[in-house]
Amino acid sequence: ILPEKRKKRKKKENKKPKEKNQKMAQSSTYGNAKPENAIDGNRASNYNQGSCAHTNNNLNPWWRLDLLKTYKINTVTITNRQDCCPERINGAEIRIGNSLNDNGNANPRCAVISSIAAGASQTFACNGMEGRYINIVIPGRTEYLTLCEVEKKKPAAGITHSEM
């Protein structure tokens, strides 16, 4: 009797461990640089590595994360593009709130990004601001918005019953 041939199962490679229960959007999409790329768990900062979200050259370009319910957000960490144009992020604002007025860009401001070095990650304190939406917008100018990673952090355990 010959042994049975076993079919090899291909492992599904999930190199992008996107968190469940959240949605992303951005003002436009340059090439394949979808909004989901900014939360793929990969801080690779070279655009050609396929891990950055990138808009077209728009007036007031924006990116938005919808958490689907309200959370307290302590910090937001942004990883800037390394291979080109790190100055494009200068003047961008992080906004957190529950409104979709102006695509969420009218929500309260957590921080203004003066600059982030090429390929660097910088953390901005939002001190428990509450909101369903986290927006990053470059207000008042026509620009490309490139985000190679956006990470949010919940308050420390014991401080609040928030899930984020």
pLDDT score of 13 more than 50: no
Q: Contact, 144 vs 30, CB < 8 A?
A: yes
Type of residue numbered 21:
N
Q: Which long-range contacts (CB under 8 A, 24 or more apart) does 1-7 make?
A: none
Collapsing DSSP to helix, strand or coil, 119 comes out as: coil
Token pair 């079919």 is found at 7
Q: What does the pLDDT read at residue 158?
A: 42
Mean pLDDT of 7-25: 55
Q: What does the pLDDT read at residue 129?
A: 97
The confidence band for 22, taking pLDDT boundaries of 50, 70 and 90, is: confident
Listed residue (126, 162, 68, 87) closest to 150, CA to CA: 126
- Provide the 8-state DSSP code for 7: P
28 contacts: CB under 8 Å, gap ≥ 6: 55, 56, 58, 61
Cα angle vertex 140, ends 136, 145, to 5°?
A: 40
d(CA 81, CA 93): 16
- Across the chain, mean pLDDT equals 88
d(CA 146, CA 67): 20
Q: Contact, 79 vs 45, CB < 8 A?
A: yes
**Domains present along the chain, CATH in parentheses:** 23-153 (2.60.120.260)
pLDDT score of 15 more than 60: no
- Per residue in 145-163, pLDDT tens? 999 999 999 776 543 433 4
- Per residue in 73-124, pLDDT tens? 999 999 999 999 999 999 999 999 999 999 999 999 999 999 999 999 999 9
